[in-house]
Amino acid sequence: MTNFNSIVSFYDTLARLVFADRINYAKRSFIGEILPWSRVLILGGGTGRILEYLAETDSELEITYVELSDQMMRSARQRKLGNHRVDFVLEDYFKFQTEELYDVVICDFFLDLFEDEMLNNVIQRIRQHLTPQGKLVVSDFQIVDESIWQRMLSALMHWYFRFLAQLDSRRLLDIDLKLTLSGFVREQKMTFYRGFIFSALYRVGKE
């Protein structure tokens, strides 16, 4: 099971060294689309930087923050929360149980952790958590136009995190395609780092 406890101390620094601020740009991309008083579910929020970005807004949000790593969660709890109410849930997402429906689900560099069938299951669970008008915000990696350097970098990242964090995924899947095939409709998309990083806003499509 993937666990990032061993890399918490240098996770954000490593991301900045490799990608400069592109990952943070991606995470900020659609914060302005979140309406005041929304119920927000954050999956695999890591060290919690997204909480500080949300805290910069004037709106009051009800946030459920689900993270498996206790070390990541400890870091997240120290972030500025602004006017938001945050329920921190230290749990494997597949064991996370709630009857709450959310206006927004945020997945920042979370969906790339899963293999094919497991990713399908995660996406279906996310859909079940959203209201009929709900939005899904995804920031993650993608390979554009069969790019050799992107494939090499992706392979290196997977090898590195499999070694240090027992990453389950062995290769980068087409997350955007998976979401659209599962019934999500992409409304907006932005790309960074020559297309290797993307952030997209989806809505729930009709069954």
DSSP string, the chain: ----GGGHHHHHHHHHHHHTTHHHHHHHTTGGGSPTT-EEEEES-TT-HHHHHHHTSSS--EEEEEES-HHHHHHHHTS--TT-EEEEEES-GGG------EEEEEEES-GGGS-HHHHHHHHHHHHHHEEEEEEEEEEEE---TT-HHHHHHHHHHHHHHHHHH-----S---HHHHHHHTTEEEEEEEEETTTTEEEEEEEEPP-
Total tally of structural domains belonging to the chain: 1
Token reading at 37: 């008083």
**Domain assignment present for 86:** yes
Q: What is the pLDDT of residue 84?
A: 94
pLDDT of 20 strictly over 70: no
Q: What is the pTM of this model?
A: 0.87
Q: pLDDT class for 10, splitting at 50, 70, 90?
A: very low
Span of 24-33, 126-135, 149-158 with lowest mean pLDDT: 149-158
- What is the CATH number for 148? 3.40.50.150
**Domain assignment present for 11:** yes
**Domain assignment present for 125:** yes
Residue range of the domain that includes 122: 5-201
**Domain assignment present for 118:** yes
**Domain assignment present for 186:** yes
pLDDT tens across 77-125, in order? Answer: 999 899 899 999 999 888 999 999 999 999 999 998 888 889 999 999 9
Question: Residue 56 and residue 100: Cα distance in Å, rounded?
Answer: 25
pLDDT of 27 strictly over 70: yes
Question: Residue 109 and residue 140: Cα distance in Å, rounded?
Answer: 5
**Domain assignment present for 206:** no
**Domain assignment present for 53:** yes
